[in-house]
């Protein structure tokens, strides 16, 4: 008789129905914990805008004035990360331990570099201390590195425009020496010229050292980087 009643009401067994399983609740809790851990991990990541100054186009490729581009290329190549087109330039995002380096090569040409810098600083809501600009410098011997937390533009149009756009000169820069072996009045031709063969042989090692200095700045701060790389 009981079997007939069960069939009539669609009950195939006498086991009681249960609500949501405890294991399901535990799974949800586990997912929440994972999301919380991921959020905390994201908070620990330090993000930097690393602006590599230069001029776009084949006419400027390999020139002294594009030393910033070259350092950026070295960092990206070592990490195996390609540059991709973005607003006001090309960008490669490289992760180094707990740091995220947004390598930006502005497409605005040197004299308007600040437009790209201001846009990306505002877009990513980054503080000034998380900005590093890589620039060529004729006052330094070839391959010499100087990191400064602030300073004047020293006649460099790229730095000048960045200061104008940001409203301050209090941003860090890494200067890559290109030398000053040019006659009076020959500065423009010199910086827009290419490195001679003897310097080109040494250039990869010099760029690698500059790339290491950029990572040191981001990982350990300006004071550490200056102590170890301002030789």
Q: In this structure, what DSSP letter does residue 150 have?
A: S
Angle at 119 between CA 113 and CA 121, to 5 degrees: 100
Residue 7's Cβ-count burial label (10 Å; 0-12, 13-18, 19+) is exposed
What is residue 63's three-state secondary structure? strand
Length of the chain: 231
Please count the other Cβ atoms lying within 10 Å of the Cβ belonging to residue 156. Answer: 23
Say which residues have a Cβ less than 8 Å from residue 125's Cβ, sequence separation at least 6.
Answer: none
DSSP 58: T
Catalytic residue flag (residue 228):
no
Q: Cα(135)–Cα(9) distance, rounded to whole angstroms?
A: 82
From 65, 156, 160, 206, the catalytic residue: 65
How many angstroms separate the CA atoms of 134 and 115, rounded? 16
Report helix, strand and coil shares of the chain as percent, to nearest 5.
50, 20, 30
Contact (CB, 8 A) for 131 and 118: no
Give the catalytic positions in this structure. 65
């Amino acid at each position: 008789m009981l079997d007939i009643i069960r069939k009539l009401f669609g009950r195939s067994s006498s086991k009681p129905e249960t609500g949501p399983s405890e294991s399901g609740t535990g799974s949800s809790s586990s997912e929440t914990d994972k999301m919380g851990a991921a959020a905390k991990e994201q908070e620990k990541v330090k993000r930097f805008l690393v602006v590599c100054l230069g001029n776009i186009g084949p006419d400027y490729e390999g020139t002294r004035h594009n030393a910033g581009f070259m350092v950026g290329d070295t960092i990206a190549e070592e990490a195996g990360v390609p540059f991709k087109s973005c607003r006001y330039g090309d960008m490669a995002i490289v992760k180094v331990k707990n740091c995220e380096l947004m390598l930006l090569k502005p497409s605005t040409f040197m004299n308007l570099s600040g437009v790209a810098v201001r846009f990306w600083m505002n877009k990513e809501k980054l503080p000034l201390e998380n900005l590093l600009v890589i620039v060529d410098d004729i006052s330094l011997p070839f391959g010499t590195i100087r990191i400064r937390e602030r300073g004047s533009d020293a006649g460099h149009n790229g730095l000048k425009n960045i200061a104008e756009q940001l409203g301050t000169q209090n941003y860090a820069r890494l200067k890559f020496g290109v030398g000053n072996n040019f006659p009076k009045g020959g500065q423009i031709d010199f910086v827009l010229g290419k490195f001679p063969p003897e310097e080109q042989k040494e250039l990869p090692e010099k760029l690698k050292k500059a790339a290491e200095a950029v990572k040191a700045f981001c990982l350990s701060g300006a004071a550490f980087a200056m102590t170890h790389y301002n030789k």
